[in-house]
A = this chain, B = another copy of it.
Amino acid sequence: MKYKIGLIGCGTVGQGFLDILDKKAETLKKNLGFEAKVVAISDKLKGSLLAPRGLEIKKVLGLLSQGKTLADYAPGKGQKDSALGPIEMIERCDADIIAELTYTDIKTGEPATSYIKKALQTGKHVVTSNKGPAALHYPELRDLAKKKKVYFRIEGTVMSGTPVFTLTENGFAGNTVKEIKGILNGTTNFILSKMELDNMDYREALALAQKLGYAEADPTADVEGFDALAKIVILSNVILGGNIRPSDATREGITGISRDMVLAAKQEGFRYKLIAQTIREGTKITAGVSPQKLSLSDPLAGVMGAQNALTFDLDLLGKVTIQGPGAGKTETGHAILQDILAIHRDLR
């Protein structure tokens, strides 16, 4: 099948996805019978373009890598499209699938949630790596998608392209998931690893994380646990079938963890990790984020640096842990592709 894809947001993840789509076009066609063209892009900084016949991906990526905008794609033509905002683009383009890849606002989920709603309402599948809408409005968006008979998929919101939702749907079908526990924030895991392995204090480790691009200038979302909290709320609602909001979960970051505490734990054979955890008992969901001292025999204890990992506790299979990248341009672009391929597997 040949899909028509529209991108709302064309920053790092969008360009990572386009690059994969271009490089893997032949493989995907040959192995999976999957073909796609990009019929619309709308980006606040890089301009907008409607192209019902499909864009030349290489040309788009070339322009953006040179700091140019989509207005330079076909000068003279399509200029009027550059004035279209995301909502108008979603309405006017004839995409089957909208990839919502704008910036994350964990507090409001906007404007991404409005874009997603518009896309679902106009009968388009939506795939996104944006944690805001997924953490704040998943049950509502899922129900809207169901009503409109389209897909709403969010693989990239947790552990970037490392399969989490795809794994659960396909590999754990029929299981009751009792508990999900993991390391969902690479920045804090990197900081804790550096404190233990390289004897740094918190400030030094944070400064290094900032220098390497793992932490933002304002590291609050990571170090105070907001990022991991959003992800564990998503897992609670998507996999455990809950309907909780971030304010229903407890949250404690790593700013209270000193080098002395890390080294004392090490002496006792333990290791500090920022653990996100959600437990289902009957219909009750208990979710939270907090620093925990793990025994070194815990599969999560060995997860060092910026890696992420999740342990699922399943009624039939017991404990299964998946470890992989938690961020990155290609990794999150991979998540977008996987969501689209999941739709393809169901529709083909």
Chain A interfacial positions (CB closer than 8 Å to B): 20, 24, 27-28, 31-32, 161-163, 166-167, 169-176, 296-297, 299, 301-304, 316-325, 330-331, 333-334, 337-338, 341-342, 345-346
A305 shortest CB reach to chain B, Å:
8
Chain A residues touching B, majority SS? mixed
Chain B residues within an 8 Å CB radius of A173:
28, 31-32, 337-338, 341
Most buried by B among A27, A32, A302, A333: A302
Are B161 and A167 in contact (CB-based, < 8 A)? no
Are B20 and A317 in contact (CB-based, < 8 A)? no
Q: How far is the CA of A305 from the CA of B304 in the complex (A)?
A: 21
Are A316 and B334 in contact (CB-based, < 8 A)? yes
Chain B residues within an 8 Å CB radius of A162:
317, 320
Are B323 and A320 in contact (CB-based, < 8 A)? yes
Q: Pick the contact of A299 from B174, B303, B331 — CB < 8 Å?
A: B303
By beta carbon, the residue of chain B nearest A168 is B163
Chain B residues within an 8 Å CB radius of A175:
334
13 pairs from A and B in contact (CB 8 Å cutoff): A24-B174, A162-B320, A166-B170, A169-B170, A170-B342, A174-B337, A174-B338, A297-B304, A302-B302, A317-B334, A318-B325, A320-B324, A321-B321
Q: How far is the CA of A163 from the CA of B171 in the complex (A)?
A: 5
Q: How far is the CA of A173 from the CA of B174 in the complex (A)?
A: 23
Q: How far is the CA of A343 from the CA of B325 in the complex (A)?
A: 30
Most buried by B among A161, A176, A341: A161
By beta carbon, the residue of chain B nearest A301 is B302
Chain B residues within an 8 Å CB radius of A334:
174-175, 316-317
Are B317 and A320 in contact (CB-based, < 8 A)? no
Q: How far is the CA of A167 from the CA of B161 in the complex (A)?
A: 13
A348 shortest CB reach to chain B, Å:
9
Chain B residues within an 8 Å CB radius of A31:
173-174
Q: How far is the CA of A61 from the CA of B161 in the complex (A)?
A: 42
A307 shortest CB reach to chain B, Å:
8
A114 shortest CB reach to chain B, Å:
30
Q: How far is the CA of A289 from the CA of B317 in the complex (A)?
A: 26
Chain B residues within an 8 Å CB radius of A320:
162-163, 322-325
